[in-house]
Structure 1
Amino acid sequence: MKKRNHFKRIFIAMLLVFTFGVCSQDYFVQVKAENYADAAPEIQPASANGLKILFDNTHAQTAGAADWVIDGAFSDYANGLANEGYYIKELRKNSAITYSDLSGYDVFVIPEANIPFKATEQAAILQYVENGGSVFFISDHYNADRNKNRWDASEVFNGYRRGAYSNPTQGMSTAEAASAAMSGVVSSDWLAANFGVRFRYNALGNIDATNIVASSQCFGITQNIDTVAMHAGSTIAIINPAVAKGIVYLPNNLTTSNKWSSAVDQGVYNNGGVAEGAYVAIAKKGLGKAAFIGDSSAVEDATPKYKKEETGGTKTTYDGYEEDDDAALLLQLTDWLAEKESYTSFSQTSISLDTATALYSFETPSLSTEPATEPWASPSASYKWYDTTTFAAGSYGYTTTSGGGTGTVGDTTYSFGVPTQIIAGQELPLTIYFSNLTPNTTYTNYKVGAYTTGGTQVGMFKEVNGRWPSTYGYSSTFSITTDSSGNATKSLVFKIKSGVSGTANMRLKKGSTNVFTDTITIG
C-alpha cells in the first residue's frame, strides 16, 4: 500500500537550547525553552489547509520515559500533520485547561495524561467537543504511571482511579493530596458517560492488530490499513454503541502468553478479538468528535527532547510511528477528526453499530479494586511529581536557584527559580517561591527587579500572558495567596538587557523593603 509521506526530525542533538528553528520542505518548526512560562513550540505549514491542532503538555506528558511533545518524541506525527497543511502548537501553561484554550483549534490531542483532569477541565473539554471541536485521547496499558502519582493515562481519561473511586487521593501523602495538581479532582465515569467508551485495565504485550473494520463502516478512516502495532497497551470498551465504535481490534485467540510481562493481573481479559475491546475507537458527541487509542507506542518516534524528571537520565523512545501502517492510520484518523459534521450520533449514519463490550464486575468504577500497591515503584526522596522545583536538570519544567539557594527573613523563606542558562535578550521564566507564611492568606505589594553593580537596572518583567513594560526596572506590584501549608508561588517572565554579561543581582521587595536578593549569572 502507499503510505503518506512524512519527515524525520533533523535536530535530535539540539536538546537544551532556548530558541532555534528547523526547516523542511513543507513546514517550519520553532522550538522554545524548557518551562511553561516560555512561548510554546509551534509548527507553521508551508501550505496551510486552514486547520489548527493543539497538543496538550499540561498533564505530565514528559514524565518518566515519556516525551510526548511536538518537538520531541511525537515530532514525526506532528510533522506529518504539518506536511498535510495543519498548523500545530503545544498547549503550555501551569494552570487548568479552559474552554478558551481550546476553542480556536479544530483538534485537541491529549497524549498520555499522567496528572488527573479537574472537573472544570473535563467540563471545558466537553464544551469544546459539543461545540464542534474534536479530541484524540492517546492512552497506554494499566499502571503505566509515568510520574509515580498512582494515576495512569487510562485512569485520567476515564475519570477515576482503579480501586480509589471513593477517594482520588487514596494513598497519597498530605502534601500530594493538598497539591494544586489534585485540587478540584473528582471521581466520575466521565469518559463513558460522555463519549461512550472506557479504557480497560488490561495490559497486552507486543501484538500486531490485524482485525481492521472495513473503511466503508468507519468513514474511510481505515482505507488501506492492514496492520497497527501494539507494544504494551490496553483496549477500549464500547459502552454506548450509538455514539462510539471500534475500528481496529487485536487478533482472536490470544492467551496469557500475549500479556505484557509486567501486567498486574491476567493482562488479557477476553482472548483478544472484538470481545477484548477495540484497540482504536471513535466517537461522536454533539457537533464534535473523539478518537481513542490504547497505546502511545504507535505514535512515538525515536527523538526524545527532554531528560527524565526524576533522575535526569536519558530517555529511550522508539520508531513506532514508522512501524506497520501506524502513520497512515494516525493521519487519516486526524483528518476525520478535523472534518466538521452535523450528525450527533452514529445511529444517524449508515454505518453498522457495535455491540456493547461485556465487562467484568471489577470494571464497574465504584466496584473496582487495586490488584497491586501503587505506585509501581517508590519515587526517590528528592522527587515530588507535583513540584517542578524537584525535577532534574534537562527535564521539562526544571528550574534552579542560580545564586546558590534561598533567603530567609525571620521565619519566611524565599527563592528564585530560573533556568540554568540565562541569556541576555531572551524571554525566560521566573518562579518566586514563598514558604512559612500564614496559611490561606493574601500578601500584597511585592515586586522584583534585576540590577548590576552600581544599581543599573537591567531586568524587564511581565506577567506570563502580559505585555512588556517600556523600560527596564522593577516589575509591577503583585500579590500572592498562600495555601493551607503557608506556601505560594508567583510566575513571571523576564529578560535581561541585551549586551549584559557576568553577574547581576535579582531582588524581591515588599513595598520599599528588600526581602530577598540573589545573584544570577548571565551567559
Structure 2
Amino acid sequence: MKIVKVLGSTLLASMFIVTTVHSAQATTAEQSEATSGQQTILFDNSHGQTAGAADWVIDGGFSDYADSMKSQGYQVKELDGQANINEDSLSGAKTLVIPEANIPFKATEQQALVNYVKNGGNVIFISDHYNADRNLNRIDSSEAMNGYRRGAYNDMTKDMSSGEKNSKAMQGVQSSDWLSQNFGVKFRYNALGDLNTQNIESSENSFGITKGVNSVSMHSGSTLAITDPEKAKGIVYAPENLSSSQKWSHAVDQGIYNGGGKKEGPYVAVSKLGKGKAAFVGDSSMVEDSSPKYKREDNGSSKKTYDGFKEQDNGQLLKNITEWFGKSDDATSIKDSGVKLDEKTPLLDFEQPENSTEPQKEPWSQPEEGYKWYDRSTFKPGSYGSEQQSGGDNTSDNGGSGDSDNGGTNDAPSTSGDASFVLPQDVQPNEPFKVTVKLSGFEKNTTVNDLSVGIYKDGGQQIGSFSNDGSTFGNPGYSAKQSVKTDDNGTATLTLTAKVSDDLSGANIRLKQGSKAIATQSLD
C-alpha cells in the first residue's frame, strides 16, 4: 500500500521581512564574512522563478547550487523586483544566474544582458521543457528566454486579458529572436523524459567544463539548438537514438524532434560574446535540491522539489561552469577559442519564429480564482513576494508539487486536523480502486461535514472520478460532499471508490472541507 502523510494546511510558518537584495545564508562563519575582495554572483528572482511548484531561490530549492558557489569563494545575492535587470543592478556582479524565467524579459533587459556579457559579465540561463508554464501566463521559460512565444510571434500578448496586457510585467516586451541572434543558441520546445546521458564532450573540447563529469541526468527537460557555431558550442547531449517512448509523458507535441544525440541539440551549451561568457541548461531538475522554502503563490500549498543537484555528476558540472566563468579569456567568440566548432542543429519548420505554432490554446489550465500572476498582492501568504512572505516547511511532509486547484477561502468550520491518504500500490487508469482518508487532530465526537477528495495532474487537470455506489462514476472532478464523525480521539476514516483517467505520474490528491484545502500531497 502507498501511505502518504500530510501536515494540516493551517500550520503557519514564522513570518519575516526580506530586503530587495540579500545574501544567501553562509555555510560557515568564515564564508559569511563578505570582504571587499569577494566577487558577487546574483540570482535573478524577478521573472517568476517561484511561480507554481518552482522554488528557485538561493535559500530554498537552489540552495545547494548557491552553496557550491560560496564554497568557491563567491558572495551570493538575490535580485528581486520587477524589470530588475539593468546596468545598475548588474554593476559589480561577476555572474548572473537566471533560473527558469516565467515572465518575459523586456527589450531593455535583453539589451542590458547583451551589454553585460560583452563587457565581461557571465550569465547562465536555466530553462525547462516546453509547457512548463508555472504561473499560467502562456509564456514558458524557453519562450521567455528565446524572446518570443510559440504561435504568437507577431503578438506576445495574444489571448491575454486587458489586465495582463496592461500590467507592468508586459510593458516594453517585444517579440524577437534575441538569444539566437546574440548568443548563437536557442532553447528548443521539445520535452525529453527521465534520462541519464554520457554523451558528453571531452574536457579538452569543453574548456574543462566536463572534467570529472561522466554522467548527467535529465527529468522532463529540453535541449537547445546551435544556430551559430562561431558563437555557441554544445557540451552535453542527450543519448543517441531516442525512441518516441522516451519523451516526457505530458509533452504536448512529438516531444523528441530529431531522435536524440547531437541532432537533438545540446542539453548544456556555452557561448562567447565579447569579453564575457554564457551557459545554457535545458532542465531545472539537474540544478534543484529538496529544500523548498516558500508556499505556492497561487493557492498557498506546500511545494515538493527533488535532489537533482546531487544526482549523477550534475553538481560537478555546475561547479565547473562557475569555475570557467571565473577564468580570464581573451577570445571573443567560440571560433576564436580554438575548440572544434559544432554543426548547426537542424531545426523543424515550426521552430522558425515566424512559422511557430501553438499546439493547443493556452493557458494549459485555468489560474486559481483571484490569482493574478502579474500582481503580487494576490499571492497567498507564505509565498515569495506575498504581503505575508515566509519560509516554508523544509521537512519531507511537503504538499503537492503541481496543484492548480484553489483552497480558496474557508466557508466551512475551522479545523486544525491532519490527514493521510492510503491508495493501492499499483493504480491503473480506468480501474476502480479504494481511497482511504484517515483524519486526525479534529474536535472529538463531532461530525465533520462538507469533505471532498480530488485527484489531479500538475497544472490542475482533474483525472479522478468517484462513485457513490461503486459502479457509476461521474465526470473527473471532486467527489460528492462527505461527512464523517470523529471518535474520542478526534480521528475518523473516510473511504471512497475512485478511478483515474491517466497514470499517477505528476498527479496529486487533495482533501477539502468546503473550499478550504485540508491536505494535499503528490502521488508521483
Tell me which residue corresponds to 1:232: 220
Tell me which residue corresponds to 2:110: 122
TM-score, structure 2 normalization: 0.69
Offset of 1:339 from its aligned partner? Answer: 2.1
Tell me which residue corresponds to 1:100: 88
- The letter for the 1-side match of 2:132 is A
Q: After superposition, where does 1:115-154 map in structure 2 within 5 Å?
A: 115-154=103-142
1:89 match: secondary structure: strand
- The letter for the 2-side match of 1:146 is R
Tell me which residue corresponds to 2:282: 294
RMSD: 1.8
Offset of 1:317 from its aligned partner? Answer: 0.1
Tell me which residue corresponds to 1:68: 56
Tell me which residue corresponds to 1:468: none
Q: Which moved more, 1:73-82 or 1:87-96?
A: 87-96
Offset of 1:95 from its aligned partner? Answer: 4.0
1:291 match: secondary structure: strand
**Long gaps (5+) in structure 1:** 1-12, 19-32, 401-418, 422-523
Offset of 1:41 from its aligned partner? Answer: 3.5
Offset of 1:338 from its aligned partner? Answer: 2.5
Q: After superposition, where does 1:181-192 map in structure 2 within 5 Å?
A: 181-192=169-180
1:41 aligns with one of 23, 34, 54: 23
Question: In the alignment, is residue 328 of structure 1 matched against residue 310 of structure 2?
Answer: no
1:382 aligns with one of 349, 370, 374: 370
Alpha-carbon distance between aligned partners in 1 of 2:152 and 2:251, rounded to the nearest angstrom: 19
**Long gaps (5+) in structure 2:** 1-10, 392-524
Q: Structure 1's 326 and 156: CA in aligned 2 closer, same or farther, altered over 3 A?
A: same
Aligned 8 A contact 1:158 1:192 in 2: yes
2:133 match: secondary structure: coil
Number of aligned residues: 375
Q: Structure 1's 362 and 95: CA in aligned 2 closer, same or farther, altered over 3 A?
A: closer
1:264 match: secondary structure: coil
Q: Structure 1's 277 and 420: CA in aligned 2 closer, same or farther, altered over 3 A?
A: closer
1:156 match: secondary structure: helix
Q: Structure 1's 399 and 100: CA in aligned 2 closer, same or farther, altered over 3 A?
A: same
Q: Structure 1's 315 and 248: CA in aligned 2 closer, same or farther, altered over 3 A?
A: same
Alpha-carbon distance between aligned partners in 1 of 2:284 and 2:147, rounded to the nearest angstrom: 19
Alpha-carbon distance between aligned partners in 1 of 2:384 and 2:328, rounded to the nearest angstrom: 34
1:185-243 deviation digits (Å, cap 9, x = unpaired): 00000100000001001001101121000010011110111111100000000000001
Alpha-carbon distance between aligned partners in 2 of 1:420 and 1:230, rounded to the nearest angstrom: 31
Tell me which residue corresponds to 1:508: none
Aligned 8 A contact 2:294 2:390 in 1: no
Q: Structure 1's 14 and 252: CA in aligned 2 closer, same or farther, altered over 3 A?
A: farther
Tell me which residue corresponds to 2:237: 249
Alpha-carbon distance between aligned partners in 2 of 1:362 and 1:297, rounded to the nearest angstrom: 26
Offset of 1:375 from its aligned partner? Answer: 1.1
Aligned 8 A contact 1:43 1:87 in 2: no
Q: Structure 1's 362 and 38: CA in aligned 2 closer, same or farther, altered over 3 A?
A: closer
Q: Structure 1's 14 and 326: CA in aligned 2 closer, same or farther, altered over 3 A?
A: farther
Higher RCO structure, 1 or 2 (CA under 8 Å, sep 6+): 2
1:321-373 deviation digits (Å, cap 9, x = unpaired): 01000000000011112223121012112210000001011000011000111
Tell me which residue corresponds to 1:485: none
Q: Structure 1's 55 and 420: CA in aligned 2 closer, same or farther, altered over 3 A?
A: closer
Tell me which residue corresponds to 1:276: 264
1:20-50 deviation digits (Å, cap 9, x = unpaired): xxxxxxxxxxxxx35xx54523355735773
Aligned 8 A contact 2:15 2:390 in 1: no
Alpha-carbon distance between aligned partners in 1 of 2:345 and 2:322, rounded to the nearest angstrom: 25
1:232 match: secondary structure: coil
Q: After superposition, where does 1:412-491 map in structure 2 within 5 Å?
A: none
Tell me which residue corresponds to 1:56: 44
Alpha-carbon distance between aligned partners in 2 of 1:321 and 1:420, rounded to the nearest angstrom: 24
Alpha-carbon distance between aligned partners in 2 of 1:340 and 1:43, rounded to the nearest angstrom: 28
Tell me which residue corresponds to 1:315: 303
Tell me which residue corresponds to 1:258: 246
- The letter for the 1-side match of 2:88 is S
Question: In the alignment, is residue 198 of structure 1 matched against residue 186 of structure 2?
Answer: yes
1:181 match: secondary structure: helix
Alpha-carbon distance between aligned partners in 1 of 2:13 and 2:59, rounded to the nearest angstrom: 10
Q: Structure 1's 38 and 201: CA in aligned 2 closer, same or farther, altered over 3 A?
A: closer
2:93 match: secondary structure: coil
